[in-house]
Structure 1
Amino acid sequence: MAFAGVLSDADVAAALDGCKDAGTFDHKKFFKACGMAGKSADDVKKAFAIIDQDKSGFIEEDELKLFLQNFKAGARALTDAETSVFLKAGDTDGDGKIGADEFASLVKA
C-alpha cells in the first residue's frame, strides 16, 4: 500500500468503505476517517507526493478522479461531480489544479 507507514490499513479501509458508492465521497469526512487530517505537515507532504502521479508539483483533475486508487488498488474512481467539487474545494487560486500548500489546507480544513 502506498500509504504504509503513514496511515493505518484499518483506517484506510474504513475511509474507503464510507465512500464506496458513487456520489458518497466527501473529502473532509475521508481525510478524518483515514487519519490524514491529524497527520504532521511532513506526512501530508508525503501524501501529496503519492497522489501527484506525474510529479508535476500539482494534483490535476485526472489525478483527483483516481484519488481513491492511491489508497487501495481497485478502489473506485470518483464521479465527475465528486471530482469537480473536490477540485473546487482545494483550488484556492483558481488555476485548475491543487498545489502542495492548497492540498495541506484542504486536508486540515
Structure 2
Amino acid sequence: MSDAKTVFKDCDVDGDGYISTVELKTALTDLAIIPTENLIQEIMNHYDEDANGKLDFEEFEKLVIDLKTFGEADPEEVLEMFNTIDQDKSGYIDEDELRQVMTEHFDTNDDKTIKAMVKMADKNGDGKISISEFIAIMLSLNK
C-alpha cells in the first residue's frame, strides 16, 4: 500500500472516504508538517477541487505528492506564494500571471524572459507551471 493510501486510511477516522479538515490536521502531523489554520485553509483552497470542504483520495494523493516535493521549504509560504501568483485559481501559473507578477515586483515584462522562465519551470511541457513544478523551482533557488 502506498504512503498516501496508508495515511489516508489511517486519517479517515470516520471511514466516510474523505479527509475532513480535522482529519487533515492529523494527516499533516503524521507527515511531520505543523498543521496551522492558515496552512489547512490554503490546502483546502488548492486541493479541494470539488469544493465540498473535504478531500477525497485523489485530492489527498496530489497533496501528499506535492508535500514530498517541499523538502525543507516552508509549505505554508510556498502555497501562499503560489496561490498569490495563480490569479485565476486554476491550479497553474500561466505566462500572463507570471508577467503580471514580474511587472509588479521586478519592473519587467519582457516576453522572452517570461517565456524562458515558464519553459525552465515547466517540466512536463504543458505551457504552465503546476504547484509541484513551482516548488521544484523554489527549492532550486534556495540552494
Q: Answer whether TM exceeds 0.5 for this pair.
A: yes
Answering whether residue 130 of structure 2 is matched by residue 96 of structure 1, we say no
2:121 is aligned with what amino acid? G
So what's the TM-score if we normalise by structure 1?
0.57
| Larger of the two Rg values belongs to structure | 2
RMSD: 1.8
Q: Retained in 2: the 8 A contact 1:51–1:70?
A: no
Q: Aligned pair in 2 of structure 1 residues 79, 69: CA closer, same or farther (>3 Å)?
A: closer
Q: Aligned pair in 2 of structure 1 residues 70, 40: CA closer, same or farther (>3 Å)?
A: farther
The corresponding residue for 1:105 is: 136
Q: Retained in 2: the 8 A contact 1:67–1:77?
A: no
2:132 is aligned with what amino acid? D
Kindly provide the CA deviation profile for residues 63-109 of structure 1, in whole angstroms up to 9, marking residues without a partner as x: 111123564xxx52420111011101110000000011110101111
The corresponding residue for 1:84 is: 115
2: CA distance, partners of 1:61 / 1:69: 12
Q: Which has the higher contact order (CA 8 A, sep 6+)?
A: 1
So what's the TM-score if we normalise by structure 2?
0.44
State the 4+ residue runs in structure 1 displaced beyond 6 angstroms.
none
2: CA distance, partners of 1:69 / 1:44: 20
2:133 is aligned with what amino acid? E
Q: Percent identity?
A: 35
Counting matched residue pairs gives 69
Q: Retained in 1: the 8 A contact 2:85–2:101?
A: yes
